[in-house]
């Protein structure tokens, strides 16, 4: 296991299109987190799962955003009807309970 992986690493899309990102956590980790990072800012929390249950969602997560972790393993983050303001780096992290969060390399989204 080489750590948290994310796919794709880069995504360019046109405004109004839907995009979906995938995160594969470290295999034994039961918690999975999504963050968003824009230029000049630190990562901002979006949502997190414990196993398949989504336990918390940020107010940043508008109705156009949805995240799933159907079997408690990988997770997907979907953005519908993308806007230019959605352009950012989307980071995934995983942890074993309350232990250290390990981050993935991120998916960079550019909305034209």
Q: Which residues bind another protein (CB under 8 A)?
A: 3-4, 31, 33, 35, 40-45, 48, 55-56, 58, 91, 95, 97-106
Q: Running DSSP on this structure, what letter comes out for residue 14?
A: -
Q: Which residue lies nearer to another protein by CB, 20 or 58?
A: 58
**Residue 79: how many other CB atoms lie within 10 Å:** 22
Residues 6+ apart with CB under 8 A from 68: 54, 75, 76, 78
* CA nearest to 93, candidates 25, 22, 21: 25
* Minimum distance of another protein from residue 60's CB (angstroms): 11
* Minimum distance of another protein from residue 7's CB (angstroms): 14
* Minimum distance of another protein from residue 16's CB (angstroms): 30
* Minimum distance of another protein from residue 55's CB (angstroms): 7
Residues 6+ apart with CB under 8 A from 55: 48, 49
């Amino acid at each position: 296991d080489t750590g948290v992986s994310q796919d794709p690493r880069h995504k360019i899309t046109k405004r109004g299109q839907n995009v979906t990102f995938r995160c594969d956590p470290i295999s034994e980790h039961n918690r999975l987190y999504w963050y968003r990072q824009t230029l000049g800012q630190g990562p901002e929390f979006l949502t997190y799962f414990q196993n398949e249950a989504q336990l918390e969602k940020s107010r940043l997560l508008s109705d156009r955003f949805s995240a799933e972790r159907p079997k408690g393993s990988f997770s997907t983050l979907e953005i519908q009807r993308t806007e230019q303001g959605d352009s950012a780096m989307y980071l995934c992290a995983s942890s074993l309970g309350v232990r250290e969060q390990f981050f993935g390399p991120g998916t960079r989204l550019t909305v034209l």
